[in-house]
Structure 1
Amino acid sequence: MTADRTGKYLVIFARRPALGVGKRRLARDVGDLEALRFARSSLARLLRTLGRDPRWTLWIATSPDRPTEWTRPWRAVAQGPGDLGEKLSRVVRALPPGPVVILGADTPDVTREDISAAFAALGSNDAVFGPAQDGGYWLIGLRRRTRAHLPFTDVRWSTGHTLADTLQAMNGRPTALLRMREDVDDGPSLRRYLASR
């Protein structure tokens, strides 16, 4: 792949918005239809807000890997198999050189200012994180130096330890933190999100 004019890459990790495909924890609490409704509206909002900003190039990291027609007009990259760490590593390595900021499609209120702040933080840090209230993170950004170690091994994914484990895997390299947000993974977090709007 060749780099584009921005040299900065924003990647939204998203499952194809179809009934029964994603948001399984949320669906257990609120049903498949409501989970699909949230997934579609959240992704649409993020794409409207972040997709056309000239300061970065937007990609969608897809799961399942095919079909990818639903990602157009944005570029698609496959998440592939494995745990979240393996998927993040695969996507980070697949992109052209330059800083990358990754967020999930389950934090619909992310703003252009959030993304701009993340890229700015990578000017003097090797990584930036957007902490989530559940102990994970809604955003990770990496400066991506040549042959840099990726901090995705020995991480307890989808637990209250995810952010702490990833910070430990940074091995003391400089990192920055953005503001805390809540990502919508289950019924209670969806109710809190809806109540805050």
Structure 2
Amino acid sequence: MRAVLAAPPPTLLVIAKSPVPGRVKTRLTPPCTPEQAAALAEAALTDTLTALSRMPAGRRLLVLDGDVGPWLPAGWDVVPQSDGGLDVRLAAAFAHAARTAPDAPALLVGMDTPQLDAALLAEALSPARRTGVDAWYGPADDGGFWALGLAKPTERLAARLLPGVPMSTPDTGRALLDRLAAENLTVGRLPLATDVDTIGDARHVAAEAPESRFAACLRSIATAQEVTG
């Protein structure tokens, strides 16, 4: 019981791009304009940051490619993304978390799942549920992953797990799971989720989280398209 009470709260990381037209959610165009796609990206990022702000955390880090906007809530520190491919940038994010809070678990998510359940994540990473878990893995239904957590993140472990994993392919998740297994890590599974890449994904996610900013933004865009169409 004493060990559970003394367990440090997790470091939460979100890796994201600034929601600038033409730089984010390009697979939504068409039917969306670049400005509409950026508005959806901003809504998704805001929903994600707001949800994670409700979770217990030692630190909250936004690992950002681009500039901060008024969408950033209080309580988040901003860390620039490193150079390199996404696999390298993810490893660098975990390395930064390890340097910042070496004794705390770290959980990283992207900006593409505004429907994420903060209460579920908080329960999964709670001190009572951490025992015996070395990593957390959230599969995406496109074959990738939407969340990755490490109970004891280190720069060396991140460098063994992530660089070289092919990103944005149907085999991304399987390759990462193989790396986790090769390190003999006990993995706690998080629920399957849909990343927002296409307009079909966006409609599915909005239906799952109808009260979200993302869903409201998509409804507004659909109305505007009906008017101009």
**2:111 is the counterpart of 1:105:** yes
CA-to-aligned-CA distance 1:35-67 (integer Å, 9 cap, x gap) = 112111111222222214444432111013xx3
Task: Give the C-alpha shift of residue 12 in structure 1.
Answer: 1.1
Trace 1:26-105 onto structure 2 (pairs within 5 A). Answer: 26-28=28-30, 30-64=32-66, 67-68=67-68, 70=70, 71=72, 73=74, 74-95=76-97, 96=100, 97=102, 98-105=104-111
Task: Give the C-alpha shift of residue 109 in structure 1.
Answer: 1.0
Counterpart code for 2:200 = P
Trace 1:79-158 onto structure 2 (pairs within 5 A). Answer: 79-95=81-97, 96=100, 97=102, 98-120=104-126, 122-146=130-154, 148-150=156-158, 151-158=161-168
Identify which of 167, 172, 188 aligns with 1:176: 188
Contact persistence 2:137–2:149 (CA under 8 A)? yes
What TM-score does the superposition give when structure 1 sets the normalisation length? 0.85
Runs of 4+ residues deviating >6 angstroms = none
Q: How many residues align?
A: 191
Greater radius of gyration (CA): 2
Task: Give the C-alpha shift of residue 87 in structure 1.
Answer: 0.5
Relative to 1, partners in 2 of residues 1:19 and 1:179: Cα closer, same or farther, differing over 3 Å? same
Task: Give the distance between the partners of 1:191 and 1:153, measured in 2 at CA.
Answer: 32
Counterpart code for 2:106 = V
What TM-score does the superposition give when structure 2 sets the normalisation length? 0.74
Gaps of 5+ in 2: 1-6, 211-229
Q: Tell me which residue corresponds to 1:18.
A: 20
CA-to-aligned-CA distance 1:129-170 (integer Å, 9 cap, x gap) = 111110111111011255652211331210111110001111
Taking every aligned residue pair, what percent have the same amino acid on both sides? Answer: 26
Q: Tell me which residue corresponds to 1:188.
A: 200
Q: Which moved more, 1:27-36 or 1:40-49?
A: 27-36
Relative to 1, partners in 2 of residues 1:52 and 1:169: Cα closer, same or farther, differing over 3 Å? same
Contact persistence 1:132–1:181 (CA under 8 A)? yes
Contact persistence 1:9–1:99 (CA under 8 A)? yes
Task: Give the distance between the partners of 1:46 and 1:75, measured in 2 at CA.
Answer: 15
Contact persistence 1:17–1:40 (CA under 8 A)? yes
Task: Give the C-alpha shift of residue 69 in structure 1.
Answer: 5.7
Gaps of 5+ in 1: none
**2:172 is the counterpart of 1:162:** yes
